[in-house]
Amino acid sequence: MPFHGRVEYAPELALWFGFTSEAEGRRFAACDLGAASSTMPPVSQQVRDKLAPALPERWVPVQEFLLPLGSGKFCIATVFDLAPRGWSRGNDYLSVDMLATLNSPLR
C-alpha cells in the first residue's frame, strides 16, 4: 500500500488521501486504490512535500493527522514536542502540546 496509517476517501476526486511511509518521508499523497490489481500495485498520483516553512530549532514533530474538510480539501494537523536546549535525537525531551494546521487544496 502507498499509505501509512489512516487514509481518507474524497468522492469528489475519486481518490484516496493519506501519508506515505516514514521511509518515504511521511508526505501527503493521493492514490486511486480502485485501479490497483493483484499484478499492478497502487501508485501514488500526486505527492506533496511539507508546505509549511522550516520549523523552529527545538520543535520536534510527533504525529500528523489528516482532517477532511469536504470538497476535496484537507487540513493537515501536526502535533509537536518542544525539546529542551542542547537536545539531540535519541535523547528524552520535554513534552509540550502544540498544534499547527495547514489548509491547502490538492488541485
How far is it, in rounded angstroms, from Cα 31 to Cα 10? Answer: 11
Distance CA 53, CA 34 (A): 34
Over 70: is that where the pLDDT of 40 sits?
A: yes
- Give the range of the structural domain holding residue 69, as residue numbers without chain letter: 4-103
Number of domains in the chain: 1
Query: What does the pLDDT read at residue 94?
Result: 45
Query: What is the structure's pLDDT at 3?
Result: 82
pLDDT tens, 60-106? 888 888 888 988 888 888 888 887 776 555 544 444 455 455 555 55
Nearest to 80 by CA among 62, 101, 55: 62
How confident is the model at residue 93, as a pLDDT?
47
Q: Name the residue among 31, 19, 38 with its Cα closest to residue 76.
A: 19
Q: What is the pTM of this model?
A: 0.63
